[in-house]
Amino acid sequence: MKKHNFSAGPCILPEEVLKKASEAILNFNGDNLSLIEISHRSKPFVAVMDKAQKLVLELLNLEDKGYKVLFLQGGASTQFLMTAYNFLNKKAAYLNTGTWSSKAIKEAKLFGDLVEVASSKDNNFTYIPKEFEIPVDADYFHCTSNNTIYGTQLKEFPTTDVPMICDMSSDIFSRQLDFSRFDLIYAGAQKNMGPAGTTLVVIKESLLENVQRQVPSMLNYKTHIDKDSMFNTPAVFAVYVSMLTLEWLKDIGGIEFIEKVNNKKAELLYNEIDRNPLFKGVVNKEDRSTMNTTFVLTDESLKAQFDTMCADAGISGINGHRSVGGYRASMYNALPLYSVQALVDVMQELERNN
């Protein structure tokens, strides 16, 4: 029996994507060569990169709007550095909603002054700050759309004339947004799009006009745009599987369709957490993430029993992040509704037994 995979990342992937990817490892495009041993500059892989980039723009409704798509390496952690290196000239504004935005702030401080416009650190990042002001003279505003560790998600984004940069690593392609409001989006593929190894960057080309310092080649967005993500050898397998996942998403109805599915999954699990006296959520209800549901037992003596029941039901990956404990069910795009139902069934069984 295939397990119900609630892992926070690397993420669950669609079954059909895994099958196609495994076939390509042995024989890509019927050429009797493996995907991972062909040249990244060969026509077959250049076509993969081109298709992946076009699918990103199509799914985000950013075609013909002045955006470029890059598949880079180094994860979101390198983007914490890279965004500031390119665009922080004097002062930048950051919203601090968790571990990853805190890490982004740490890196950005190397390049200029920072204004932390708001933070939820005072209550262990269990809510999203509201009604903050972004300085009009900031070089850019940076936020994290979804917080995997704490289970919070921005439901609304500020309206500002300042360029907006967003880390969407864990909820990219999961819900409908006006993506044209963002000047730069970055996302590690392994949270909701593909395997670990590549990082998606969607950047408005006009933003490059704001670069005022000399930036090393590997950290310069223009370098990678000019070379179409081929300045250095890209993560061939990760890009290919990301392309397959984007194809899958398009074929099932795109972001409009998957958002409805994701909402159903989140509603099912949150309703059980709120109903079942043995469990409780740990973040503000209005800020709950549809991707990462965090919760705890009201009686910790039941932990061993609950963990055993989950394991017996084939439920995997629901332990909370090591820094916060408890439980975390990550419900990325490819996680089926029946997997969430399986978890709810175990929670109800625990209630009946106790």
Instruction: Encode pLDDT of 140-178 as tens digits.
Output: 999 999 999 999 999 999 999 999 999 999 999 999 999
CATH number of 254-353: 3.90.1150.10
**Contact between residue 27 and residue 33 where contact means Cβ atoms under 8 Å apart:** yes
Q: Checking phi first, is residue 250 left (phi over 0); if not, alpha (psi -120 to 50) or beta?
A: alpha
Q: Of the candidates 246, 243, 353, which has an alpha carbon nearest to the alpha carbon of residue 299?
A: 353
Contacts of 101 (CB under 8 A, 6+ apart): 94, 95, 142, 143, 144, 147, 167
Q: What is the dihedral of CA 178, 179, 183, 184, to 10 degrees?
A: 150
Q: What is the predicted pLDDT for the residue at 17?
A: 97
Does pLDDT of 323 surpass 90?
A: no
At 1, the pLDDT band (50, 70, 90 cuts) reads low
CA terminus-to-terminus distance, the chain: 28
Q: What is the predicted pLDDT for the residue at 36?
A: 93
Does pLDDT of 274 surpass 80?
A: yes
At 212, the pLDDT band (50, 70, 90 cuts) reads very high
Instruction: Give tens-digit pLDDT for 190-209.
Output: 999 999 999 999 999 999 99
336 prior amide bond cis, ω within 30 = no
CATH number of 15-251: 3.40.640.10
Q: What is the predicted pLDDT for the residue at 87?
A: 98
At 324, the pLDDT band (50, 70, 90 cuts) reads confident
What share of the chain has pLDDT > 90, as a percent? 95
Q: CA torsion sign, 199 to 202 to 208 to 211?
A: negative
Q: Of the candidates 272, 251, 270, 271, which has an alpha carbon nearest to the alpha carbon of residue 333?
A: 251
Q: If you count them, how many residues does the chain have?
A: 354
Instruction: Give tens-digit pLDDT for 220-233.
Output: 999 999 999 999 99
Annotated catalytic residues are 100, 167, 191
At 265, the pLDDT band (50, 70, 90 cuts) reads very high
Q: How far is CA 234 from CA 199, 208, 340, in A?
A: 10, 22, 35
* CATH 3.90.1150.10 segments of the chain: 254-353
Instruction: Give tens-digit pLDDT for 67-104.
Output: 999 999 999 999 999 999 999 999 999 999 999 999 99
**Contact between residue 198 and residue 239 where contact means Cβ atoms under 8 Å apart:** yes
Q: Where are the beta strands (DSSP E) in 205-260?
A: none
Q: What is the mean pLDDT of residues 129-147?
A: 97
Q: Phi and psi at residue 118, in whole multiples of 5°? A: -170, 160
Q: What is the predicted pLDDT for the residue at 211?
A: 95
* CATH 3.40.640.10 segments of the chain: 15-251
